[in-house]
Chain A
């Protein structure tokens, strides 16, 4: 945008220099103004509105009778919210860790200059193209004890085979992890594979000349140089974990009971189906806090890195 505006400005400078120049000066600002305005209103404006609502006693529709921190107090006394937060901890932690681990392993294996790499890469990345709703529904059928995996194994003759995590309140959150890992590890692999390809070939050759084994080369040279990739993957995965909603909605709908609720589902239920907009907004603000807790240190390290260069 910028260059275009500048070009058209310089092309017209021969006639009426001062007026055209000022237009050229203003052009970038005029072009950018709608974007800035939309961002300010639709992103930050609504964030602030949600924050305001979280301090009101809003129920079915927004109202502005301020009640201080009462909604937050109610939120943290709410059993269901604590379940959702705990689940986010378990789900987020396992999901990020397993995805990173699998992603790195898959990327290293794929990096061995094998045949048909393009095809295999596409196959691994494919789950990412499917929406979480589809993933959730498919895994719901697979994990259903009466017509999924368990039934298949029993039909094969393993009569005592039992796999009922989907209906077990203590284990159901791990079902979410399975489905989410299946979906996202291919994406992490793609990120790392791109990173691996970016590593300087001479460096690896030098290491080999020095007598380093492939394992040592990866451990000491290649993987450490992939730190930025690692951080990008971490940030993307933690966002997926915190905002996760559709997977739960399709796979378990929060059940059994509300054992597999995540904060986003809690927010939706209370804000939109239980007429508790105030309480829902408070939970949304806590989620925003979680995102900021990850984003701010990341941005800080990024910006500091730039300054050193």
Chain B
């Protein structure tokens, strides 16, 4: 009898020893489309290699709104996941509420302060301490084009919004949809901010970061709305409510000529087996070649109970910043690594252009956070801007002057 008990205890102890190292991480994210899912799988495999259990907690929905709702209810009930895809000013909001854990020891061991550009590490810190690990940098002001459609309709790639309208008319006359677009508020806002950025990074910053009333009511802003309204005639009638990746597939299939979308669209091209520079081409959104609107994805780490879970969480944070993951993840996702001095040879021409532009714009002050992707303002102000922008795009009777007035009032009311 005693022997059995002893035997059982040994088994139990050895099991405990084995699991003390291997913990579980639960990761909440909304990387669910083809290229994105492939990208996050890389991290999952690396965690499994390190003997940890990966509990996937994916909540579909492009803008991540549903994922945030789930996260809030989990956090309020005292059961947050180990890591969640939170970014930009929202990291600070969660930090204020005291939910995030300190990653300073991992950051110190991995020399995050050295390998990350200042603009990235600032976003990852709350109160001077690292609380989140960045996974990638997206450039939002990209234009994806199908050269075949351009050739068939005799149009050339536009470099300004005036030219865009001229070329789009040619494409439309040839029977193609000039602009692949999905009528969801964040996609409307992505197009809108690309047009606003063509008025210069200074104007963009004072309007969407400083939220200055004069900038929001300026003539420039009225012009932006005017151009934005003209885009309405270049989208197909079925655009309402369409997901971004469906719009991308219109460019892939040759139904549409262009899409204004961040470089996560490249993941869709890659997943469809297309080659950059041959089957599709990438250009900065018209009029924004020198500027860079960034969207940095990051996994914020929540306070979790249990030594094994904490160990797994630290391993997760460490792995995210390691060159191997940075390379494979970003190759799949279409973005560029957050680390400086990474080998570049595996990346395509679009990524090279993005890396060059990232470094160049950070010195000229043309590196700005994306409003449409929650990097510039908090969710309340962002929601207010979205409402005005998307309503204007769909309401044929609203004039640009009215829209500008609404925008200024809505922003003020939400602050």
The interface of chain A, by Cβ under 8 A from chain B, is 59-61, 74, 77-80, 140, 144-147, 164, 166-167, 169, 252-253, 255-259, 269-270, 272-276
Contacts and interface: CB of A to CB of B under 8 A. Distances in A.
Interface string B389-406: 011111110000000001
Interface stretch (B65-73, B210-218, B300-308, B360-368): B65-73
A140 B394 CA distance: 18
Contacts of B183: 167, 255-256
Contacts of B387: 79-80, 257-258
B239 interface: yes
Contact of A276 (B238, B240, B380, B406): B380
Interface of B is mostly: helix
Interface of A is mostly: loop
Contact of B379 (A61, A140, A275): A275
B413 interface: yes
Interface in B372-394: 378-380, 383, 387, 390-394
Nearest to A270: B383
Given A60-B72, A272-B69, A273-B69, A255 B241 contact: yes
Contact of B394 (A74, A255, A276): A255
A270 B382 CA distance: 12
B265 to A, nearest CB: 21
B244 to A, nearest CB: 14
A255 B240 contact: yes
Nearest to B382: A274
Given A252-B241, A273-B383, A275-B380, A257 B395 contact: yes
B69 A259 contact: no
Contact of B239 (A167, A253, A259, A274): A167
Given A255-B390, A258-B391, A275-B380, 8 more contacts: A77-B413, A145-B238, A167-B394, A169-B396, A257-B392, A258-B390, A259-B395, A273-B68
A256 B93 contact: no
Interface string B181-203: 00111000000000000000000
A15 B221 CA distance: 89
Contacts of B238: 144-147, 167
Contact of A169 (B68, B72, B395): B395
A52 B383 CA distance: 24
Contact of B241 (A79, A164, A253, A269): A253
A253 B184 contact: yes
B97 A60 contact: yes
A179 to B, nearest CB: 14
A274 B380 contact: yes
B109 interface: no
Contact of B65 (A164, A257, A273): A273
B104 interface: no
A252 B184 CA distance: 10
A256 B394 CA distance: 6
Contacts of B390: 255-258
Interface residues of B, number: 31
Contact of A59 (B240, B380, B392, B394): B380
Interface in B310-337: none
Nearest to B73: A272
Contacts of B241: 140, 252-253, 255-256
B126 to A, nearest CB: 15
Contacts of A258: 387, 390-391
Nearest to B392: A257
Contacts of B394: 167, 169, 255-257, 259
B343 interface: no
20 contacts: A60-B72, A79-B410, A144-B238, A146-B238, A164-B237, A166-B240, A167-B240, A255-B185, A256-B394, A257-B390, A257-B393, A257-B395, A258-B390, A269-B383, A270-B383, A272-B69, A273-B68, A273-B69, A275-B93, A275-B378
A146 B236 contact: yes
Nearest to A151: B238
A164 B406 CA distance: 27
B71 to A, nearest CB: 10
Nearest to A145: B237
B379 A274 contact: yes
Contacts of B396: 169
A145 B235 CA distance: 13
Contacts of A166: 240
Contacts of A256: 183, 240-241, 390, 393-394
A303 B281 CA distance: 72
B17 interface: no
B4 interface: no
B76 interface: yes
Chain B CB within 10 Å, residue with most, of A140, A147, A256, A270: A256
Contacts of A144: 238
B184 A255 contact: yes
Nearest to A272: B69
Nearest to A60: B93
Contacts of A253: 184, 241
Chain B CB within 10 Å, residue with most, of A167, A274, A276: A274
A49 B379 CA distance: 24
A270 B383 CA distance: 9
The 3 A-B residue pairs whose C-beta atoms are closest, nearest first, are A146-B238, A256-B394, A257-B391
Contacts of B65: 273
B13 to A, nearest CB: 42
Nearest to A62: B76
